[in-house]
């Protein structure tokens, strides 16, 4: 009989204030964490609520969730709710006396909310809503196992280039670089296959580690070599730039939303003036001021919220990497382009609690020429021109039929339907 050994890990989140927790143990590499209590720290009175939200968990298997709580001397009750991937997994209603046999205002007791496996967990929310004064949360402890190891098929045009396999679940695979062709330049790997687009696609860079959530396929992406090179500033000086993430090919866009305290981001656009920012550096280049070029609006912050305010940005710079950040409440917050919102329903550009260091952020020199880039997963197609059905038939020996916004491809007796 073969014995399967699953190594479990524990991540513990200790309440530090009404909107912060500190982490101990181990957790998925790209986790996103937020905590909020409507009263103070971990104290939940009748009508109050405390919520811990964990995002970007990557499909882990949650085995157990415990919350350490104490009560008032003679009271303290509420309702715990656990949501997994947006759906309610369990609720637990009662008082500390119901759960442990007695009220206790001196020691914290672990209350088990989940003790059965929940697979494929990407987002997790644990909340406590008070029904009777008062319960007090010390920490949350989540026991989990990694998701299964997955395989990644790498496609270069119509042929399979390689197949990579994770050593263990969530260990990721290292993506290789491919050679340029005579007319196309290799730029990275895409999770979507396409024939011809002009907007820069989201790619995973060669040399980066990709973390598959299931067995999947990546396609090599190429850019027509008559398009301008991406130029990033390796020597800091005042000027007009785009603040970009080189891996996702996205750029900071527009001005702060004063109500939400956030900003927007979009695919890099050479002629998108909404993405142009005038950056002014101090003499030592360790501090900068940012202004939206089109409107003259200053780009700054109030605490951890974005604001239309002239604010000094601290600068991390190494070769052609440039990252802006600030400090609030003794913590570092970087200006990032894809921060998950509190409801786990979308992303925004804004301040993310993280230490400055090597990243994919950079200042890009906008190309204001009229040339339009072309990207493809099929460099065997005609260079720099949109592929036609006739040419696709010629290249693939397939029959291609357009059905509205879909492309029906018939090959070797099998049918494939793709979105245009």
Quick one: pLDDT at residue 178?
96
Could you give the angle at the alpha carbon of 19 between the alpha carbons of 17 and 25, nearest 5°? 75
Rg from Cα positions in the chain: 25
pLDDT computed for residue 340 by the predictor: 82
pLDDT of res. 134: 96
**Residue 9, CA atoms < 13 Å, CB-side half-sphere:** 14
Regions in the chain scoring below 50 on pLDDT: 1-5, 383-389, 391-392, 394-396, 403, 415-417, 419-420
DSSP state of 172: -
pTM over 0.75: no
Residue in 138, 117, 122, 112 with CA at minimum distance from that of residue 8 = 117
202 CB burial (10 A radius; 0-12, 13-18, 19+): middle
Please write the tens of the pLDDT for every residue from 290-348.
999 999 999 999 999 999 999 999 999 999 999 999 999 889 999 999 888 777 677 89
3-state secondary structure of 273: helix
Contact indicator for 258, 308 with CB cutoff of 8 Å: yes
pLDDT tens-place string over residues 285-299: 999 999 999 999 999
CA atoms within 13 A on the CB side of 55: 17
243 near 257, Cβ under 8 Å?
no
Q: What is the pLDDT of residue 371?
A: 58
What is residue 22's predicted lDDT score, i.e. its pLDDT? 94
Residues 6+ apart with CB under 8 A from 245: 251, 265, 337, 338, 360, 361
pLDDT at 278: 97
Identify which of 150, 119, 145 has the alpha carbon closest to the alpha carbon of residue 212.
150
Distance CA 244, CA 323 (A): 10
The model's pLDDT over 375-392, given as tens digits with 9 standing for 90+, comes to 899 887 654 444 444 544
Are 61 and 9 in contact by the 8 Å Cβ rule? The answer is: no
Asked if residues 62 and 114 have their Cβ atoms less than 8 Å apart, the reply is yes
> What is the C-alpha to C-alpha distance for residues 47 and 415, in angstroms, rounded to an integer?
56
Can you list the domains of the chain with their CATH numbers?
Answer: 9-145 (2.60.120.260), 151-227+371-387 (no CATH), 239-364 (2.80.10.50), 388-420 (no CATH)
Whole-number pLDDT of residue 230: 73
Other CB atoms within 10 A of residue 303 CB: 11
Q: How many whole angstroms separate alpha carbon 403 and alpha carbon 214?
A: 30
SS (H, E, C) 105-139: CCCCEEEEEECCCEEEECCEEEEEEEEECCEEEEE
Pairing outcome for strands 49-55 and 184-190: unpaired
- The SS3 assignment for 295 reads coil
pLDDT at residue 383, rounded to an integer: 46
């Amino acid at each position: 009989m073969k014995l399967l050994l699953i190594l479990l890990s524990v991540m513990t989140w200790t309440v530090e204030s009404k909107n912060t927790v500190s982490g101990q143990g181990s957790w998925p590499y790209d986790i996103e964490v937020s905590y909020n209590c409507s009263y103070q720290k971990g104290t939940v009175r009748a009508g109050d609520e405390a919520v811990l939200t964990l995002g970007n968990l990557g499909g882990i298997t949650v085995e157990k969730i415990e919350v350490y709580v104490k009560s008032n001397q003679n009271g303290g009750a509420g309702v715990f709710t656990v949501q997994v991937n947006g759906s309610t997994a369990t609720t637990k209603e009662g008082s500390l006396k119901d759960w442990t046999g007695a009220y206790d205002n001196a020691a914290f007791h672990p209350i088990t909310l989940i003790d059965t496996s929940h697979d494929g967990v990407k987002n997790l929310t644990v909340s406590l809503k008070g029904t009777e004064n008062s319960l007090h949360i010390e920490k949350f402890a989540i026991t989990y196992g990694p998701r299964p190891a997955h395989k990644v098929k790498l496609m270069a045009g119509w042929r399979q280039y390689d197949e990579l396999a994770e050593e263990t679940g969530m260990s990721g695979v290292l993506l290789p670089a491919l050679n340029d062709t005579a007319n196309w330049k290799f730029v990275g790997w895409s999770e979507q296959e396409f024939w011809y687009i002009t907007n820069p696609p989201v790619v995973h860079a060669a040399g980066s580690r990709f973390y598959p959530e299931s067995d999947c396929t990546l396609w090599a992406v190429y850019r027509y070599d008559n398009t301008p090179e991406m130029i990033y500033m390796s020597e800091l000086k005042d000027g007009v730039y785009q603040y970009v993430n080189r891996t996702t090919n996205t750029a900071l866009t527009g001005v702060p939303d004063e109500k939400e305290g956030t900003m927007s981001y979009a695919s890099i656009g050479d002629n998108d003036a909404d993405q142009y920012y005038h950056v002014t550096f101090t003499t030592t280049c360790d501090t900068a001021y940012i202004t939206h070029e089109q409107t003259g609006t200053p780009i700054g912050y109030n605490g951890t919220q974005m604001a239309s305010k002239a604010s000094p940005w601290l600068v991390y710079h190494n070769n052609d990497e440039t990252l802006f950040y600030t400090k609030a409440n003794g913590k570092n917050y970087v200006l990032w382009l894809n921060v998950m919102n509190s409801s786990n329903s979308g992303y925004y550009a804004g301040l993310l609690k993280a230490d400055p260091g090597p990243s994919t952020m950079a200042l890009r020199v906008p190309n204001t020429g009229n040339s339009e880039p072309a990207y493809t997963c099929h460099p065997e197609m005609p260079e720099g021109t949109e592929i036609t059905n006739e040419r696709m038939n010629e290249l693939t020996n397939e029959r291609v039929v357009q059905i509205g916004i879909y492309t029906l491809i018939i090959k070797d007796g099998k049918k494939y339907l793709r979105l245009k």
